[in-house]
Structure 1
Amino acid sequence: MTHLDRTALDAAVSALTDPALAGFVAVVAWPDPDAGRDPAGRPWAVLVADAHGSARLDDEHPEGVVVAGRHPLPSTDPMAFLPYELEVADPSPDHDRNAYPLPWLRLASFFTEQRSPDLAVVHAAGHWFPEQGGHRGEHGSLDVIQSRAPFVLSGAGVVRHGLIEEHARLVDVMPTLAHAAGVPASALAGLDGVPRTDLVEPGAAHVIGLLWDGGHVGSLIDLALRGELPNVARLLRRGCALTGGAVAEFPSLTLVNHTSMLTGVGPGRHGVVGNVYWDRHHGRRVVPNDAATWHKTSELYREGVTTLFEAVLAHRPDVRTASVNEMTERGAWASTFGLVRAALSAGESADPGEAGSAESRDFLTTVRALLPDPYASDLVTHVRCEEDDDYAFYSAIDLLGLSTMVGLFSASDPAELPAVAWWSQYTTDAAHHAGGPRSGIATEGLKDCDQRLGVFLDHLEQRGLLDDCLFLLTADHGFETARDDVRGEWGSALHAALDPLGVPFRDEGPGFVYLGVHPD
């Protein structure tokens, strides 16, 4: 790092940790420039700071050692704000009352990847930033609630039952499902995640992953216990749920964690560091989380990445696997996005172009015309579709997903049924973005997904397959509600600090700050 680079970094950190920004900037994190990196590019240490102090995180001190002032992470407890009543009593808490679980593991992985920024700004839990693309419900932070996803296991092979006061990591999802599907432990040893052999044993004829994108774990379990999500309750009666859920990788964003949970490794190894980031090598902005680019997600993977479907195929080459409406699907025998790629290569579909382009808008118009009509289904809350276009769009996608899953599990020949299947639903994410957790629209998003789950479970039961299935229900992140009293932006402070030095910067997200890179 040159003297100018170090001067710019110090100036940026100083600007972002100014007490004037403390209401909406929780912490700032960056690789320790004095520590260097290991041969794989992983930083030997990461620094974190807030308006009142800084700390150094490393392998020997994963919770951090104070460098100056007070520790910037008030708590690192993955089980904070439990039982659920504590979360409800203190929604979107201020930084000083918040918790930031597994900070070293998550930040070290994030900063390993060369696509990661020079420093990351962690939004305060209640940060409301609609001018920069923020929503009423938000995620992406290092904090515990935005990082907490459900981890529910049900059915054949589950060895523990009820509500368990523990937590997992989202990188545990892939090795746990692979283990349940009969992949040997030796093939899973090099992952960041671990198979939860204490919760499930192999032997199920059908291993099924269920992702409810942005499904808020506290609400999901609470509503199930109160009978308002009867089909999640149905799963719980035949299995278990970790009350601490599964901790997402940082940032707690969609593409990062879809990739993490289905590869078993964090962003520092799979390479997908955000929903939007700057690629220094190619000098371009990359937007993986766009309906026009989802089918190309695997092109972003780094060498050595293995998906769940590839792991199963390597050890059980004669079985079928399926990925329904899931971006991390490389190696699946049946894949929604494989069909998209095939249609594009055959010239049967509009060119999706780049994310946000005129071509991508044309592509989405074509896609919408092919989807089921959400207003024609009693598995969709119609009034919410009228209120929110994303709710309508993703409800249609989820209806298509349901019909695809039913079709996959309708084959008369048992050998043609998927041994491993994954089904992602997205209405929950649209609903939580629109209203935040515990809002009316968020609750109805969960209920709609529960209804569709019920149709699928009924189909399996009618076919005599249900008792032979293992289910893992999870999500890619949690959610918190943005607060009207937590407003602000840090771009002006960065300009005031860096412009006199002649140092340009890009702020993607916002929150990914790339120094020395000219904005468009």
Structure 2
Amino acid sequence: MRELHPDHDRVVAALTVPELAPIIDLVVWAGHDGEPAAFAANHLGSVRLEADGTHHVLSGIDPIPSEDPMAFLPYDAECAEPGPRLSTSNAYPYAAPRLLSFFSHPDRSPDLAIVHTPRHYFPDEGGHVGEHGSLDVIQSRAPLILAGPRVRRQGYAAAHARLVDVGPTMAVLAGVPEDDLVDRHGDPVDGRVLHEHLLPGEPRPVVGILWDGAHCGDLLHLAESGELPGVARLIERGVALRGGAVAQFPSVTLTNHTSILTGVGPGRHGVLGNVYFDRASGERVVPNDAATWHRSSEWLHGHVRTVFEMVADHVAPQGFPRSASIDEAIDRGADYSTMQLIRASGDARGADGLTDQLPDPHTSPFNVDPAHLEDHYFSWGVQVDDLGLQQIRQLWADPATAPRLTWWANVVTDAGHHGGGPRSAMARASLRQSDARLVAFLDHLEAIGALEEVTLVLTADHGFEGADPSVTGSWAPALDALGISYRDEGPGLIYLA
């Protein structure tokens, strides 16, 4: 953990003035004060956060009095107060452990991070109508549903987990011994196996499905309303956690894809965000881009093991893939991988180089509203997810040669929530079409006699909140006025020279 920069206090003071409160929810950092600790501040006060959940108020009032992972439940409570205006009306689950992990990387962690308010709208700097990345509970809450022969039939459970728990749970279900949930140094992973939702039994094939950016509350609400029959079929055969799974900070795509598939936080796996700075190389790293997705595993630390590598260590080769990774950037160790195909093509454009091979989104049987295809990201998501369904059907053509672990990432849900915001027509359309693909896959498993043999996991990498177009602005003038050299990546990750 880095020592505090000499200008640290000046920077925090400049960012925690009331004038910036509409766009800055919190300023967060970590440091040593006898023991490593996390800190948070805003215009209301500052607090030291201990890993055991203890808060020590340093000035004013505690800016994050709640860490309740079950906040804003039932779903009506979230809808009644979307995007709280004050941090004291919000909740920040596992604040200290998440921040301590994020700030523990010696080269890639920033000196401090700015947490946008839920309502901050910043399209000129990469923001959208729908946003994520915050430490807060709704942007951090991903859905988590488990189903199949090794899962207790609990229906809708008043419970939660963490995304770092998902990979270890899938690995054990697939046959990895629990005592081998360690990195290459022998250190245990950060996540745990969710035994309270599992039944004893022999290893089974596992299919993990990620709907990027799927909103937990809305997904469960639509499933209960009969609008997502595929999700409802899973819940009938298992459990859906009302509190979902808490993402690592920042609650962004690549950080949490990596945390899911390694079981460790960003300080250990090294993917600090969708964009960050690496002091050791002096380079700005942008893994979350069509031109670089296929290279994402290059930034993953060598001592970390992916679930694909864990499975490879314990499932003997049999002439067909032991594990498969569909449309997933963090694919290291998978016997079959979409990203391998892109790398093998040798096209420097990465995923963009395969655009001509993607299905026509206008003929997709899953997209209902052609107007949504005017959004480029949404249209691309339809193409990618249609191809993904083709790939998983091929991998599961015969249950006798199907992978022990299959991971299938979908992206149109992220596009729908960015483009329209949570609960919008576009967001719900993206959930419905993803559900239709899920139904097609479940029907396929049933047709080949494999449905009762497979354990399925449905999750996402983060949640979403809607920005307010009237809440705009930038903290750059406040930082510029200090006359110090800095980098702002994200924006919100502040590296001081």
TM over 0.5: yes
In structure 2, what residue type is equivalent to 1:325? D
Q: In the alignment, which residue of structure 2 is the partner of 1:211?
A: 210
1:99 aligns with 2:91: yes
Secondary structure at the aligned position of 1:112 is classed as: coil
Aligned residues with identical type, % of pairs: 50
Cα separation, 2, equivalents of 1:191 and 1:29 = 24
1:510 aligns with 2:491: yes
- Cα deviation for residue 443 of structure 1 reads 0.3
1:65 aligns with 2:52: no
In structure 1, what residue type is equivalent to 2:360? D
Q: In the alignment, which residue of structure 2 is the partner of 1:46?
A: 38
Q: In the alignment, which residue of structure 1 is the partner of 2:185?
A: none
Q: In the alignment, which residue of structure 2 is the partner of 1:185?
A: 178
Matches within 5 A, 1:137-176: 137-176=130-169
Q: In the alignment, which residue of structure 2 is the partner of 1:453?
A: 438
Q: Which residue of 395, 398, 403 maps to 2:382?
A: 395
In structure 2, what residue type is equivalent to 1:248? A
In structure 2, what residue type is equivalent to 1:476? D
Cα separation, 2, equivalents of 1:378 and 1:343 = 28
Query: 1:15 touches 1:494 (CA, 8 Å); kept in 2?
Result: yes
Q: In the alignment, which residue of structure 1 is the partner of 2:325?
A: 323
Cα separation, 1, equivalents of 2:39 and 2:373 = 46
Q: Which moved more, 1:315-324 or 1:250-259?
A: 315-324
Q: In the alignment, which residue of structure 1 is the partner of 2:344?
A: 342
Secondary structure at the aligned position of 2:331 is classed as: coil
Length-normalised TM-score, structure 1: 0.91
Query: 2:5 touches 2:111 (CA, 8 Å); kept in 1?
Result: no
Matches within 5 A, 1:364-379: 364=352, 366-379=353-366
Q: Deviations over 1:446-479 (max 9, x none)?
A: 0010011111111110001101011010000000
Q: In the alignment, which residue of structure 2 is the partner of 1:494?
A: 479
Cα separation, 1, equivalents of 2:391 and 2:79 = 36
Matches within 5 A, 1:433-444: 433-444=418-429
1:122 aligns with 2:115: yes
Q: Deviations over 1:368-406 (max 9, x none)?
A: 111001111211134244331111101100000000000
In structure 1, what residue type is equivalent to 2:130? G
Cα separation, 2, equivalents of 1:255 and 1:79 = 24
Q: Deviations over 1:6-45 (max 9, x none)?
A: 4411111001101111111111011225457xxxxxxx11
Cα separation, 1, equivalents of 2:445 and 2:204 = 12
Query: 2:2 touches 2:31 (CA, 8 Å); kept in 1?
Result: no
- Tell me, which stretches of 5 or more residues in structure 1 are unaligned? 37-43, 345-349, 353-359
- Tell me, which stretches of 5 or more residues in structure 2 are unaligned? 183-187
Q: Which moved more, 1:281-290 or 1:6-15?
A: 6-15
In structure 2, what residue type is equivalent to 1:133? G
Q: Which residue of 372, 381, 405 maps to 2:368?
A: 381
In structure 2, what residue type is equivalent to 1:164? A
Query: 1:323 touches 1:422 (CA, 8 Å); kept in 2?
Result: yes
Q: Deviations over 1:346-379 (max 9, x none)?
A: xxxx323xxxxxxx6xx61x32111001111211
In structure 1, what residue type is equivalent to 2:373? E
Q: Which residue of 391, 403, 420 maps to 1:418?
A: 403
In structure 1, what residue type is equivalent to 2:39? L
Query: 1:384 touches 1:391 (CA, 8 Å); kept in 2?
Result: no
Cα separation, 2, equivalents of 1:442 and 1:33 = 42
Cα separation, 2, equivalents of 1:2 and 1:216 = 35
In structure 2, what residue type is equivalent to 1:263? T
Query: 1:258 touches 1:476 (CA, 8 Å); kept in 2?
Result: yes
Q: In the alignment, which residue of structure 2 is the partner of 1:39?
A: none
Cα separation, 2, equivalents of 1:121 and 1:35 = 25
Matches within 5 A, 1:469-488: 469-488=454-473
In structure 2, what residue type is equivalent to 1:138? E
Cα separation, 1, equivalents of 2:355 and 2:69 = 40
Q: In the alignment, which residue of structure 2 is the partner of 1:351?
A: 348
Query: 2:175 touches 2:204 (CA, 8 Å); kept in 1?
Result: no
In structure 2, what residue type is equivalent to 1:74? P
Matches within 5 A, 1:9-28: 9-28=8-27
In structure 2, what residue type is equivalent to 1:479? F
Secondary structure at the aligned position of 1:55 is classed as: strand
Cα separation, 1, equivalents of 2:373 and 2:340 = 31
In structure 2, what residue type is equivalent to 1:286? V
Cα separation, 1, equivalents of 2:307 and 2:215 = 24
Q: In the alignment, which residue of structure 1 is the partner of 2:245?
A: 246
Cα separation, 2, equivalents of 1:200 and 1:372 = 38
Structure 1 residues 12 and 159, CA, compared in 2 at 3 Å: closer, same or farther?
same
In structure 2, what residue type is equivalent to 1:217? C
Query: 2:145 touches 2:458 (CA, 8 Å); kept in 1?
Result: yes
Runs ≥4 residues deviating over 4 A: 33-36
Q: Deviations over 1:395-440 (max 9, x none)?
A: 10000000000000103xx442111101011000000000110000
Q: In the alignment, which residue of structure 1 is the partner of 2:194?
A: 196
1:87 aligns with 2:84: no
Query: 1:173 touches 1:193 (CA, 8 Å); kept in 2?
Result: yes
- Cα deviation for residue 205 of structure 1 reads 3.1
Q: Deviations over 1:30-65 (max 9, x none)?
A: 1225457xxxxxxx1122111121111233x53421
Q: CA RMSD in A?
A: 1.7
Q: In the alignment, which residue of structure 1 is the partner of 2:335?
A: 333
- Cα deviation for residue 116 of structure 1 reads 1.1
Query: 2:148 touches 2:238 (CA, 8 Å); kept in 1?
Result: yes
